[in-house]
């Protein structure tokens, strides 16, 4: 039986992934053995998987996790972008140093097994590894020049995952997720949180704050696509990556104005009227350094798929999450 470990399994994408694995399993194993690791778990979360509580910043956590000898590790745990920017030490400790300790612990398990143990790792990186100025579309050979600590930490983890994989200690890859939208539940500390808020709150009859001009263009995919990317990556033959194990993924490029038009088409002017512009220079400063559009040829050729329009992204939220939303 395939042992699956989801780091950050209590988070939004972790829960989506766990739910999907409980329903549909993996390509080669319809009923994998799933363990979720996180600092805590939401009430009413996905039932079935084992739950393991801990802090990636603790010195023995990496050893405990590697001792489980998971066959597949989905690494989704992170301090989000906004908090990494305000809490420098915490961001580097959790987003960078804990990855190092985990990779080292896995390498030691690999060596102890005389090379037999080579876990698959799917790491969620981010489009925050890129920094302005950009071409109109970011291609697969564009440099990582992050302009946030979060982006730097993600870019460093990509390099580590690639080198530990090249040496055969793990078989890893990094997925640069688009901004996941529409996130169900509450706003989080990510600077990108408002991209979901301006759709989610109005659909739930609540006011939403828009901290940036509606001309801001950004790159999105739904939580359903995120779970789909992860499951697809777990089944991918990484030989096809030719040593470049970090991938930019498909998504939808649109402006905030276009997001709002999609909301109007789905829920009418009344919903749109709940969006209140309230410029926030700190958020704007982070967001204006972010990518606007991609041409992710490699990921598309490798079979990764996202939504085709922001209307589709709104519909995914309405179908999957709106009935459960806390109003």
Under 8 Å between Cβ of 10 and 77: no
Which residue is associated with the tokens 């697969």? 140
CB closer to its own copies, 51 vs 238 = 238
Mapping DSSP to helix (H, G, I), strand (E, B) and coil, where does residue 294 land?
strand
CB closer to its own copies, 62 vs 152 = 152
Within 8 A by CB and 6+ apart from 212, the residues are 194, 256, 279, 280, 283, 284, 287
CB closer to its own copies, 78 vs 155 = 155
CB closer to its own copies, 67 vs 159 = 159
- What is the DSSP code string of 145-202? --SSHHHHHHHHHHHHHHHHHHTTS-EEEEEEEPEE-SPPSS--SSTTHHHHHHHHHH
- The answer to whether 165 contacts its own copies (rule: CB under 8 A) is no
Task: Determine how β-strand 246-248 pairs with β-strand 3-7.
Answer: unpaired
CB of 149 to its own copies, least distance (A): 5
Distances (CA, A) of 182 to 16, 144, 211, 221: 13, 26, 17, 8
Nearest to 129 by CA among 159, 99, 91: 159
- The answer to whether 118 contacts its own copies (rule: CB under 8 A) is no
Site string for its own copies, 224-263 (x = CB under 8 A): -------------------xx-x-----------------
DSSP 13: H
CB of 269 to its own copies, least distance (A): 41
Site string for its own copies, 83-112 (x = CB under 8 A): -----x------------------------
Q: Choose, by CB under 8 A, the member of 76, 152, 226, 287 that binds its own copies.
A: 152
- The answer to whether 147 contacts its own copies (rule: CB under 8 A) is yes
Q: Distance between CA 12 and CA 110 in Å, rounded?
A: 31
* C-alpha of 69 from chain center: 23
Under 8 Å between Cβ of 264 and 272: yes
Q: Choose, by CB under 8 A, the member of 128, 160, 199, 314 that binds its own copies.
A: 160
* C-alpha of 204 from chain center: 24
Establish whether 150 is a catalytic residue: yes
The enclosing H or E element of 100 equals: helix 98-112
Q: Choose, by CB under 8 A, the member of 19, 22, 118, 145 that binds its own copies.
A: 145
Q: Choose, by CB under 8 A, the member of 81, 95, 125, 144 that binds its own copies.
A: 144
- The answer to whether 174 contacts its own copies (rule: CB under 8 A) is no
Q: Choose, by CB under 8 A, the member of 136, 141, 237, 239 that binds its own copies.
A: 141
- The answer to whether 143 contacts its own copies (rule: CB under 8 A) is yes
| Burial class of residue 269 in the structure, from the number of CB atoms within 10 Å of its CB (0-12 exposed, 13-18 middle, 19+ buried) | exposed
Q: Choose, by CB under 8 A, the member of 163, 207, 288, 297 that binds its own copies.
A: 163
CB closer to its own copies, 250 vs 289 = 289
Number of Cβ within a 10 Å radius of residue 152 = 21
Q: Choose, by CB under 8 A, the member of 11, 49, 131, 228 that binds its own copies.
A: 131
* Active-site annotation, residues: 150
Q: What is the contact surface with its own copies in residues (CB under 8 A)?
A: 88, 131, 135, 140-147, 149, 152, 155-156, 159-160, 162-163, 166-167, 243-244, 246
């Amino acid at each position: 039986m395939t042992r699956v470990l989801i780091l950050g399994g209590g988070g939004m994408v972790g829960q989506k992934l766990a739910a999907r694995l409980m329903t549909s399993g993996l390509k080669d194993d319809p009923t994998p053995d799933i363990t979720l690791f996180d600092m805590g778990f939401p009430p009413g979360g996905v039932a079935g998987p084992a739950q393991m509580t801990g802090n990636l910043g603790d010195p023995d956590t990496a050893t405990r996790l590697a001792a489980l000898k998971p066959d597949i590790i989905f690494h989704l745990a992170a301090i989000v972008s906004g908090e990494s920017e305000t809490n420098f030490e915490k961001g580097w400790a959790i987003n960078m140093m804990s990855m190092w300790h985990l990779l080292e612990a896995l390498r030691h398990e690999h060596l102890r097994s005389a090379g037999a143990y080579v876990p698959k790792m799917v790491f969620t990186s981010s489009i925050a590894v890129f920094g302005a100025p950009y071409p109109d579309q970011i291609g697969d050979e564009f440099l990582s020049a992050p302009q946030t600590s979060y982006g730097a930490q993600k870019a460093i983890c990509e390099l580590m995952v690639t080198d530990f994989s090249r040496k055969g200690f793990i078989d890893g890859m990094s997925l640069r997720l688009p901004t996941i939208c529409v996130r169900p539940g509450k706003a989080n500390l990510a600077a990108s949180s408002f991209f979901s808020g301006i759709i989610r709150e109005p659909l739930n009859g609540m006011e939403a704050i828009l901290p940036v001009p509606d001309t801001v263009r950004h790159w999105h995919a739904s939580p359903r696509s995120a779970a789909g990317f992860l499951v697809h990556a777990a089944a991918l033959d990484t030989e096809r990556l030719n040593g470049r194990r970090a991938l930019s993924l498909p998504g939808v490029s649109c402006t905030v104005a276009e997001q709002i038009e999609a909301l109007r088409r789905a829920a009418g002017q009344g919903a749109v009227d709940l969006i209140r512009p309230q410029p926030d220079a700190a958020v704007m400063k982070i967001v204006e350094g972010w990518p606007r559009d991609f041409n992710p040829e490699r990921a598309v050729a490798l079979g990764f798929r996202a939504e085709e329009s922001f209307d589709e992204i709104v519909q995914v939220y309405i179908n999957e999450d709106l009935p459960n939303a806390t109003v």
